[in-house]
Every structure is written in C-alpha cells, then in structure tokens.
A and B are shown apart, each in its own frame.
Chain A
Amino acid sequence: MRKRNDYDDIPGTTVFDAQRSRQGYHLNMFCMSLMKADNRAQFKAGERAYLDRWPMTEEQKQAVLKRDWNRMISLGGNIYYLAKLFFNDQKSFQYVAAIMTGSTQEEYAAMMLKGGRPPKGNRTLSDWKKKRG
C-alpha cells in the first residue's frame, strides 16, 4: 500500500518517488529504448507488437498507444523518460505540457510568456478545490 506523503498535497503534481519508479520501471525503460534508431523503426512498424515485448501492464500499453500523458504519469511514467516517446513523435515539451494542462499549445505558450503559472492559488490541494468549488 502507498503511504501518504507530505508532497501528495501539491495539486496537479505526481512526484516520481521510489514506489512510482518501481511501478513504472518497464514503461520507462520501453521509452528509453526509443533512443536507438533501430528500436524506433521497429516501434514505428508496429507499436502494439513492440510494446508486447515489454512486461508492462495492459493499462500502461493502452496509455502509450493513446498518448495519454497524464495517464502514463499516473501509472509510473516519468517525464524525462516519456520525453523519449514524444521526441520520437516529433513533439516538444511545450506540446505535451499543453496537453497535460488541458490547454492549447498557443494558450500554454502565452501563459509562459506572461511569466508562467503563478504560485498563488497553485500551492495546495485546497487552493485548487477553492478555485473549482
């Protein structure tokens, strides 16, 4: 069972801790394999078949096939490993960040140019509850 950690109170944030590193080991190592051109070609030729070579859970495989980034993170994916997958898709950190935050890339880029997402109202789970409540 996952013990509750002090950082679980930070909204919209999944800390890649030892438990998640264990849970996401094969998912992340699959992503890392895409640093090699040979593997990228095989993945391109048949994503499902390539994924089936890794002892990942079905949920993890579905999240990869759907490019559901938040889901991959909730299943133990780490953003620096997932980057190998979205670089392979010719996508940038900003492209994926926009999706993860539910905004368009233009909106996200504009937010960054205005100084980013501010700390006020984004520190604790209760901050977000208030905002959405």
Chain B
Amino acid sequence: MSHVPAIGAALDNGKSGEPYWKKVFDGFERSKEWIRKAKPDVILLVYNDHAVAFSLDIIPTFALGCAAEFPVADEGWGPRPVPKVIGHPELAAHIAQSVILDEFDLTVVNKMEVDHGLTVPLSLMYGQPKAWPCPVIPLPVNVVVYPPPTANRCYQLGRALRKAIRSYGEDLRVVVFGTGGMSHQLQGPRAGFINSKFDRRFLDRMTKDPKSLTRITHLELLREAGSEGIELVMWLIMRGALDEKVREVHRFYHVPASNTAVGHLILENLK
C-alpha cells in the first residue's frame, strides 16, 4: 500500500472528507474492517525511510527495528500527531538472528525514529486511534540511493522472514505490510509519470504469479513505474512471507494521490 505524505497531512488536518481525498480513504474502509477482525498480535512493517532516520551517512539496504519503541520523527514541520510506535523486541531479536543465519545480513537498529513511510500506512489501516492497537516491527529498506535490493532478493528475504516468524516460540498472528508505490516519479522533466496498466498487472501478478515479479529488473521498474516507483520492490518482501497460493481479500487502485498512483492489496494464506 502507498505511503504518500500528503495522505497523512490530509488526515491530520481534517481534510479526509474532501472529495479529492475521500476517494483515497474510501478505498481503505474495507481494509479497516478487515484488520479490526484480523486482530494481529504484531505487524511487521516493510517501508522506506525518506532521509529522516537514515541519511547519506549510513545506508543500510535492509534494517530491522529491534527497539521497545520508535518515536515519530519531526520531518521538518513537527512530528505527525500520531501515537508513538511500540515495538516487539523479543520477536524482532528472534527474526534478526534467524534471517542473518539464513544469509540475510540485515542491520539491527536499536534506536530509530520513524517517518511518514511507516506512519501513513498505519493511519490508513487504523484511522486516528489514541494508541496503535498492536506492536510494530519496522523493516526499513533502502530505495532512495540506487540500487535498491533486487526484486528477487526482496522476495527471498520474505521467505526467510516467514521461516523466522514460524519458528518463534509463541504462536502469534503476524500481519506483514509491504508499502510504497505504486507508479510515480517525483523528479525531473518526467515527473508526474503514472503507468496504470503496469500497476494493475503488478497487482494481478502479486496475487497469482509472484515468482514472475522476482525477475523484474530495476531498469524495467524505473522505466515503467517511474524513478520513485522502484520502491515497489518492497511489496515483494511481503509477498515472499506469504504462501505461494493466496486469497485476494481486497484490492484498491486509484490515481492520483498528489503525484502517485495508490495501490492496495490484502492477501491471506489459504489456511
């Protein structure tokens, strides 16, 4: 699902009922109902940081937030008025140990602020609660400095995450959020690029043929989904964490939210 900062601003400033934004928020009504019923014990949230917690000083390709809590960052206009994010350090530590031994050398982060990339998807799913209903483990992925990890690498990390979660001592209901995208370009004379045909096909393949998406190249993503649309690789981490065969519970696609095509899928394992 998308994380456009203006979506957060629309909600925070009471503009979610305006016709322009209502079209976006309406697409998540069913999702809110779904997650209320699904009642996850933990959310593993795959997202990208936008030059907030990480800068050009340190650029982890994959990182895992293992802290007990994650303050909401001030991105330059004051922190978003949303609850702080509570982590799940025990499960996060278990995941880190499991996936590193599985040859995914991610960076363990024990102190980190989280930006709109993480909080906007939570707002879309939960609205404006006093506290987020469950702990969240942030998994930031570098998609700002080229090259981001490949689509295949992301999918394989998803497989390793699934194995890690399954081997945890406690039986927890974990929902994985894959965020970002869909097609958009924020920079240069080609800014405003949107490719709905590509996006819709991407959604179809996410549900029915995820393996074909692991062969998608960075060049194709840049050309067909826009320079910032390359962040779609993050969806593959979520997809890899699921079974190969899944049920598509909900789909929503809308253009535009500011400069971006908003796409949203809810997928469930069959059993």
Number of A-B contacts (CB under 8 A): 140
CB of B169 closer than 8 Å to a CB of A? no
Question: Is A35 a contact of B75 with CB atoms below 8 Å?
Answer: yes
Question: Is B55 a contact of A17 with CB atoms below 8 Å?
Answer: no
Selected interface stretch from B34-42, B123-131, B172-180, B254-262: B254-262
Chain B: interface size category: 35 or more
Q: How far is the CB of A78 from chain B (nearest CB, A)?
A: 7
Closest to A116 in B: B194
Name the contact of B51 in the complex, choosing from A18, A32, A118, A124 (C-beta under 8 A). Answer: A32
Question: Is B258 a contact of A15 with CB atoms below 8 Å?
Answer: no
Name the contact of A93 in the complex, choosing from B74, B188, B219, B259 (C-beta under 8 A). Answer: B259
Question: Is A17 a contact of B186 with CB atoms below 8 Å?
Answer: no
**Secondary structure of the A contact surface, majority rule:** helix
Q: How far is the CB of A68 from chain B (nearest CB, A)?
A: 13
Q: Can you list the 5 inter-chain pairs with the closest CB atoms, starting with the nearest?
A: A116-B194, A12-B190, A12-B189, A97-B191, A79-B187
A residues at B contact (CB < 8 Å): 6-7, 10-18, 21, 25, 28-29, 31-32, 34-35, 40, 70, 73, 78-81, 83-84, 87-88, 92-94, 97, 100-102, 108, 111-113, 115-119, 122-124
B residues at A contact (CB < 8 Å): 5-6, 50-52, 55-57, 74-77, 144-147, 183, 185-198, 218-219, 222-224, 227-228, 255-256, 258-259, 261
A selection of 22 A-B contacts at a CB cut-off of 8 Å is A10-B190, A10-B227, A13-B188, A13-B227, A14-B188, A14-B227, A15-B222, A16-B144, A28-B56, A29-B56, A32-B55, A80-B50, A93-B5, A93-B6, A94-B258, A112-B256, A115-B255, A116-B194, A116-B261, A117-B192, A118-B195, A119-B197
